[in-house]
Amino acid sequence: QKEVEQNSGPLSVPEGAIASLNCTYSDRGSQSFFWYRQYSGKSPELIMFIYSNGDKEDGRFTAQLNKASQYVSLLIRDSQPSDSATYLCAVKKNTGFQKLVFGTGTRLLVSP
């Protein structure tokens, strides 16, 4: 089992729709969770982080965390073609030095 799992996609949504990206993790002691956006040929860019169970909203983005189910998601409202990218889920493990473990990413395609 991978430590952080994501569906590779692509996830295709029409412009204006809600895109829902999901991530599961295996280490129950994980404390912090991050979403990065990576455009093709570019470096990852941090867009959201969440520590506590529940929802965290930032503009069109909402991160949702359910530690009991070991599940974190990212919702993108009013999706735009410029949101088309690969979204990486990352988890800060609770053991040892604070390193992030990344999922392989979900590719999102938003069609006009």
Cα(90)–Cα(34) distance, integer angstroms = 5
Should residue 43 be labelled a site residue for another protein when binding is judged by CB under 8 A?
Answer: yes
Q: Which of 19, 37, 44, 73 binds another protein (CB under 8 A)?
A: 44
Contact letters for another protein, residues 12-41 (x by CB under 8 A): --------------------x-x-x-----
Residue 9: phi and psi, rounded to 5, are: 80, -155
**95 near another protein (CB under 8 A):** no
Give the CA diameter of the chain. Answer: 45
Cα–Cα distances in angstroms (integers) from residue 93 to residues 43, 58, 97, 102, 103, in the given order: 22, 24, 8, 11, 13
- Per CB under 8 A, does 54 bind another protein? no
Q: Using CB under 8 A, which of the segments 15-23, 55-63, 67-75, 97-105 binds another protein?
A: 97-105
Strand partners, 14: 111
CB of 12 to another protein, least distance (A): 20
Residues 6 or more apart whose CB falls under 8 angstroms from that of 34 comprise 46, 48, 49, 89, 90, 91, 92, 100
| Binds another protein by CB under 8 A, chosen from 45, 55, 57, 58 | 45
Residues contributing to the site for another protein (CB under 8 A): 8, 32, 34, 36, 42-46, 49, 88, 90, 92, 97-105
